[in-house]
Amino acid sequence: MPDVFTQEKRSHVMSRIRGSGNRDTELRLIQLFREHRIGGWRRNRPLFGKPDFVFPKNRVAVFVDGCFWHGCPKPKHSPMPKNRAEWWAAKLQRNRERDLLVTRTLRKQGWRVTRIWECDLAKKANWPRIAGRIVRALERQAPPASCADREPKSKSAKVKVLGQPMASRRR
């Protein structure tokens, strides 16, 4: 049975396949962060499900989901290959279940999880809305001032603060 996609269509589909963790989409999101002055993000943090971007202070994890692998709701973005259709259906179903598991697990661990569709990010007209979602997530998870001790440099500052009351009590 021949491939259901024409060569051109197939390469288009395959180009979307790497999706999450794809270099182009990551660079696009970095550009969005820059244009909307969103700072504090990190990459490659060893968290469950490997989020594409993490804001460690605010405990916000961001995933950019590739349309094909993650089952974009727009049907043309996640076309079911007709060849080995059952295998593909099972495979893509497992991916969706995995995404749910990752989101739920991170939420249980106190992370706020934001998922962005690759196709959404591809259109620059959507960027203000996407940036708004991320900013709202960051604001909701904003750490109280006393929790700013996740950065290594403030560890010593905390020790000093703890030392002072002890000294004053002795007087």
Query: Could you say whether residue 12 binds Zn ion (CB under 5 A)?
Result: no
CA 110, 114, 115, 118 torsion-angle sign: negative
Among 25-33, 75-83, 132-140, 161-169, which window interacts with Zn ion (CB under 5 A)? 75-83
Least distance in angstroms from the C-beta of 125 to Zn ion: 15
Residue 81 carries which DSSP code?
A: P
Residue appearing with tokens 């007209």: 125
CB of 75 to Zn ion, least distance (A): 9
User: How long is the chain?
Assistant: 171
When binding is defined by CB under 5 A, the residue of 13, 38, 67, 130 that contacts Zn ion is 67
Interacting residues with Zn ion between 77 and 136 (CB under 5 A): 77, 117, 119
CB 99 within 8 A of CB 65: yes
Tell me whether residue 53 or residue 65 sits nearer to Zn ion (CB atom).
65
Nearest to 111 by CA among 149, 58, 63: 58
Which of 49-57, 65-73, 87-95, 134-142 is the region at the interface with Zn ion (rule: CB under 5 A)?
Answer: 65-73
CA–CA distance, 3 with 10 (Å, rounded to integer)? 8
Binding site for Zn ion (CB under 5 A): 67, 72, 74, 77, 117, 119
